[in-house]
Amino acid sequence: MNVQGLIFTLTSVSSVLSSPFYDTLLSDDRLMPNELQGTRQYAAQLVADLKATPTEKLEPLVAQYDDELTEQLNKFQGEWTADRYSGFRNAQAMFGLVASIFNRANIVA
């Protein structure tokens, strides 16, 4: 995965998490409203930060984390329709990896 692929991936994951489909986690009492909303906002902010950061600053780190990012994406894709809660947690793990990339690149996200 490269930076452009990561932007596309996070945009897609963010879109899925923003769908009403995930609101059912609130009615199931699996999540608190602030956790769902905060995660949605954080995902959108990560995408904005990725788009605003020079690609050359992130590309080596995205390549370094490629296996982990791909693993989390595959888990998310495999679970989000069957088990929304696990999909949500996998998305959060992916966002954490992206935060690590920003941290290692000395970018505040």
What is the maximum alpha-carbon separation in the chain? 43
CA distance 86 to 44: 20
Burial label, 22 (beta-carbon count in 10 A; 0-12, 13-18, 19+): buried
CA distance 11 to 18: 10
Q: For position 89, what pLDDT does the model report?
A: 92
Which runs of consecutive H residues, i.e. helices, occur in 1-109? 3-17, 24-27, 33-52, 55-64, 66-79, 84-104
Q: For position 109, what pLDDT does the model report?
A: 59
CA distance 73 to 67: 10
pLDDT tens, per residue, the chain with 109 residues = 899 999 999 999 999 999 998 898 898 888 999 999 999 999 999 999 999 999 998 999 999 999 999 988 888 888 887 888 998 999 999 999 999 999 988 876 5
pTM of the model: 0.87
